[in-house]
Structure 1
């Protein structure tokens, strides 16, 4: 499977530069293009939330439309400026399909249905780490993980390096982790180094636990990927998510690959969990699939 279409969703007031930088690193290795989709509520969606608060008339609708248009123009100008700084083509009239360039699109509506529709005709969705001050970021990550059906790359800090330099795979044999590996073989094949880590939970003895990481390494070899297998012992008082991030940092990982929400989101919200901890605390790119 080739990864040729990388989607960066953005919206009013957001700075997509971190996601664009990550996308550029990947696209140059994958011969992919970057699709930036600006998503903003249309007048009808804004009015639905304002109807009980302020009188709605033609002037209000015009002001909303103008505000959205101005936000889109500002976003487009910012992306064009980024392209100029990075020497990347912006909306070229004609370009090779395996060339790296940026396309821009503007879509009106709620984030969830728009991102679901657009994400399903791209190969990888690249989103920001959720920021409570920017509701779009949390909605985009949730939609990408639970509705799109494509791998999601979450960016939590500026990417100044090649994310494929050293990929650490968190492997527990779950369905979610299996989907992630299957959908990401192309990315993993491009990685300079791959390490497979299985973090023991300490919930009970399992004579097969120590073979989990080695099993995946054996599978990856059939795809031309040589990976190192590591089993982390359970540490009392340290959640598995914290152990994975600590080990990834210790090994100077450039990306963590993780099957997302092996347990339900409700359970993770109430009791904590690996995915929740990683999403809230990761400072390196995290590749996920549910």
Structure 2
């Protein structure tokens, strides 16, 4: 398995340099095509007007969106001009989440920026929360202060669920290139630690058969300590530049209410995070 097409989602009024750098690096590492995508929708004004004045306002707003999307295309092409391989740009005046989700069908992995815990503008930003839960592709979330994909140490946040199994399989190309790989599970209150360790050891053995040498461990944090805090401590201990995790949602109605660890990884992690749902 490899990544043949890397897609990077760009956003208006957001820093895009970090995600462009990491997406370009991924494309180089795996000799992959790189596709840039962006969309935005004209935000209607809060006041009311009608007739010719309303149409003029809409036309001007859409023209402004098109100019700004053209600016993103220029930024994308400047960042990828020396990366080699196939480079493609796709954009539209549309709701960004809807557009990016549709384009994700052509990619093996989607690269996005993180998201502020505060409210975000659905007219200008394809939320990584939406992308990871609905794209059907792994999502690599890149913090704004990152300037490269650090694979010296990778951490797999294991939980015996379909989402975590899918995430490890989706991350195999990157894990094969990592110098050190650690698999950790955070036991819950009533878990038998010996059984938890046996499960993590199984995953390490599976990875070994795919050419990845990994160390198995369980978190030694207090059982009442939040899982996100325990995960960050382990990531710091091993110097992880990449975290691999399953993405979990609590809402069956659109699956937009993320679990605590997933929410933390999308909004507050200082490391690159590969998430699969």
- With normalisation by structure 2, the TM-score equals 0.87
The total of aligned residue pairs comes to: 271
Q: Residue 112 of structure 1 aligns with which residue? A: 97
Provide, for residues 35-71 of structure 1, a one-character-per-residue CA deviation record: whole Å limited to 9, x for no partner: 1112122x6xx4xx45973335332232123211211
Work out which structure has the larger RCO, using CA pairs closer than 8 Å and 6 or more positions apart in sequence: 2
Q: Residue 77 of structure 1 aligns with which residue? A: 74
Q: Helix, strand or coil: the match of 1:70?
A: helix
CA separation in 2, counterparts of 1:156 and 1:79? 18
Pick one of 174, 191, 194 that aligns with 1:187.
174
Q: List structure 1 runs of 4+ shifted beyond 4 angstroms.
A: 49-52, 136-139, 268-272
CA separation in 2, counterparts of 1:271 and 1:23? 25
CA separation in 1, counterparts of 2:29 and 2:219? 31
Provide, for residues 90-138 of structure 1, a one-character-per-residue CA deviation record: whole Å limited to 9, x for no partner: xxxxxxxxx3x54222122112321211112211111111123643587
Q: Residue 114 of structure 2 aligns with which residue? A: 129
Q: CA deviation at 1:151?
A: 0.3
CA separation in 1, counterparts of 2:173 and 2:75? 30
Provide, for residues 213-252 of structure 1, a one-character-per-residue CA deviation record: whole Å limited to 9, x for no partner: 1110000111111111111124154211111111111211
CA 1:72–1:269 in 2, change beyond 3 Å: closer, same or farther? Answer: closer
Q: Helix, strand or coil: the match of 1:135?
A: coil
The unaligned stretches of length 5 or more in structure 1 are 90-98
RMSD between superposed Cα atoms in Å: 2.7
Q: Which moved more, 1:23-32 or 1:144-153?
A: 23-32
CA separation in 2, counterparts of 1:196 and 1:15? 31
Q: Residue 141 of structure 2 aligns with which residue? A: 154
Q: Residue 92 of structure 1 aligns with which residue? A: none
Determine if contact 1:8/1:34 at 8 Å carries over to the other structure. yes
CA separation in 1, counterparts of 2:88 and 2:101? 18
Q: Residue 152 of structure 2 aligns with which residue? A: 165
Q: Residue 39 of structure 1 aligns with which residue? A: 39
Determine if contact 1:161/1:254 at 8 Å carries over to the other structure. no
